């Protein structure tokens, strides 16, 4: 059998979805959102948020 030729990114702890940090597109405030939260700045109410880069290490299998 031949090895698979695709890469797979796996989170280190798949059981525990942690909140993700976003920056408000208007006031620049940092917002932490979990699954199901309303996508809206908690400071000014602006609805465009930019995702911050995660600090979680990723394991990438490349063959």
CATH number for 38: 2.20.28.30
Per-residue pLDDT tens digits for 2-60: 555 555 555 555 566 788 899 999 999 999 999 999 999 999 999 999 998 767 777 88
Per-residue pLDDT tens digits for 23-34: 999 999 999 999
Q: Residue 31 corresponds to which tokens in the numbers above?
A: 């917002």
Q: What is the pTM of this model?
A: 0.57
* Rg (the chain; Cα; Å): 16
- Say if 21 falls within a structural domain: yes
CB 29 within 8 A of CB 44: yes
**The 49-51 sheet, strands edge to edge:** 30-33, 20-24, 49-51
CB 17 within 8 A of CB 32: no
Count of structural domains within the chain: 1
Residue 23's domain spans which residues?
A: 8-61
Q: Is 50 left (phi over 0), alpha (psi -120 to 50) or beta?
A: beta
- Say if 41 falls within a structural domain: yes
């Amino acid at each position: 059998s031949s090895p698979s030729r695709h890469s797979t990114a796996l989170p280190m702890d798949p059981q525990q979805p942690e909140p993700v940090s976003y920056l408000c597109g208007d006031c620049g405030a940092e917002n932490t959102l979990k699954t199901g939260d309303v996508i809206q700045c908690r400071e000014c109410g602006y609805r465009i948020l930019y995702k911050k880069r995660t600090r979680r290490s990723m394991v990438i299998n490349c063959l």
